[in-house]
Amino acid sequence: MSRTIIVNILRFIALVFIQVFLLKNVSLYDLSTPYLYILFILLLPFETPNILLFALSFILGLTIDAFYDTPGLHTTACVLLAFVRILFISITVQKEGFDNEPEPTLSIMGFRWFFTYALILTLFHHFFLFILEVFRFSEIQYTLGRAVLSSVFTVFLVLVSGLLFYKSKERK
What is the pTM assigned to this prediction?
0.88
pLDDT in tens, 137-155: 888 888 899 999 999 999 9
Q: Please count the structural domains in the chain.
A: 1
DSSP 33-81: ---GGGHHHHTS-TT--HHHHHHHHHHHHHHHHHHHT-SSHHHHHHHHH
Judge whether 150 lies within some domain. yes
Paired residues of 32 in beta bridges: 28
pLDDT, residue 101, reads 59
| 170 domain-assigned | no
Domain carrying residue 123: 3-23+31-165
- Whether 29 has a pLDDT exceeding 70, the answer reads yes
Whether the predicted pLDDT of 165 surpasses 80: no
pLDDT tops 80 at residue 94: no
Query: pLDDT digit string (tens) for 104-126?
Result: 888 788 889 899 999 999 999 99
Q: Say which residues have a Cβ less than 8 Å from residue 110's Cβ, sequence separation at least 6.
A: 171
171 domain-assigned? no
Q: Answer whether 70's CB lies under 8 Å from 133's CB.
A: yes
pLDDT value of residue 170:
47
| pLDDT value of position 168 | 52
Would 172 be classed as within a structural domain? no
Q: pLDDT tens, 69-91?
A: 989 999 999 999 999 999 999 88
